[in-house]
Amino acid sequence: MRVLVVEDDARTASMLRRGLTEDGYSVEVSGDGLDAVWRACENTYDAIVLDLMLPGIDGFEVCRRLRAAERWAPILMLTARADLPDRVRGLDGGADDYLAKPFSFEELSARLRALVRRGAPARPTVLEAGSLRLDPATRQAWRGTVALELSTKELALLELLLRRPDEVLSRTFILDHAWDSSYDVSSNVVDQYVSALRRKIDRPFGVDQLETVRGAGYRLRSTPVPADGDAS
């Protein structure tokens, strides 16, 4: 899942990047209101953590411009200005939630998970494709009744695939949504992680569900096929 953190305080931005990355998010940071509007209009994010006091334009105006541009990623407004009028103004301006500084990262993380779950209509609490399941809130995955031991990045990759079953996802798309922008799109990191994920979710169970589409990318079938079936 891809998150934009808009925060001009370098220490807070670094803490948020580190913590959210450990939670499995792909994180980009902007320290300027105008830059944040540009990024959010040019790219797709699953959520935005937005500080209120910013250079250029403040968080209220960032939120207003994004909603006017029909950019509907959930926005968690994060600020030291916790007065009721400011909270009301932020929520009325299009923010989805409001968290005052100083804050607990655990609470921020939980609020962000809730926003991401509500980000799309009828988004299920547990993602499923055939016998494969993942609970984004608890970061647990199963094949049938068998719990899967997956790394943080493998969980992020599986979540991305489960949210788009039967869609072919290019390596560039996967890098954009599951890795930081510092990775070169020519890197084979996606191939390596897909292979590692396949060894954990498919091969031990004698099925082929995560397939390579030659020249295009990868696709998670909505239902698995036997390992000796046609899973090109």
Predicted pLDDT of residue 139: 82
Supply the mean pLDDT for the chain: 88
Global confidence as pTM? 0.63
Would 146 be classed as within a structural domain? Answer: yes
Would 122 be classed as within a structural domain? Answer: no
Q: Provide the CATH number for the domain around residue 213.
A: 1.10.10.10
Least confident range from 49-63, 118-132, 201-215: namely: 118-132
How far apart are the C-alpha atoms of 218 and 89, rounded to whole Å?
43
Q: How many distinct structural domains can be found in the chain?
A: 2
Least confident range from 32-41, 112-121, 155-164: namely: 112-121
Q: pLDDT above 70 covers what percent of the chain?
A: 91
Indicate the pLDDT class of residue 13, thresholds 50, 70 and 90: very high
Predicted pLDDT of residue 158: 96
Side chain identity, residue 152: T
Least confident range from 40-54, 56-70, 124-138: namely: 124-138
CB neighbour class for 196 (10 Å; exposed up to 12, middle 13-18, buried from 19): middle
Find the mean pLDDT for residues 96-112: 91
Instruction: Please indicate, yes or no, whether residues 59 and 140 belong to a single structural domain of this protein.
Output: no
Predicted pLDDT of residue 193: 94
Q: Provide the CATH number for the domain around residue 50.
A: 3.40.50.2300
pLDDT > 50? residue 122: no
Predicted pLDDT of residue 121: 42
Task: Give the residues across from 147 on adjacent strands.
Answer: 142
Predicted pLDDT of residue 111: 93
Structure tokens that stand for 50 in this block: 């937005």
Q: β-strand 97-100 against 127-129: which pairing, if any?
A: unpaired
Indicate the pLDDT class of residue 230, thresholds 50, 70 and 90: very low
Instruction: Please indicate, yes or no, whether residues 37 and 93 belong to a single structural domain of this protein.
Output: yes
Please list the alpha-helical segments (H only) found in 95-188: 105-117, 152-162, 171-178
Instruction: Please indicate, yes or no, whether residues 111 and 6 belong to a single structural domain of this protein.
Output: yes
Half-sphere exposure of 120 (CA within 13 A, CB side): 9
How far apart are the C-alpha atoms of 160 and 120, rounded to whole Å?
14
Instruction: Please indicate, yes or no, whether residues 110 and 159 belong to a single structural domain of this protein.
Output: no
Which candidate, 116, 143, 133, 114, places its Cα nearest to that of 201?
143
Q: Is it true that the peptide bond before 224 is cis, omega within 30 degrees of 0?
A: no
Find the mean pLDDT for residues 150-164: 93
Instruction: Please indicate, yes or no, whether residues 150 and 46 belong to a single structural domain of this protein.
Output: no
CB neighbour class for 100 (10 Å; exposed up to 12, middle 13-18, buried from 19): middle
**Residue 187: domain span:** 127-226
pLDDT > 80? residue 141: yes
CB neighbour class for 126 (10 Å; exposed up to 12, middle 13-18, buried from 19): middle
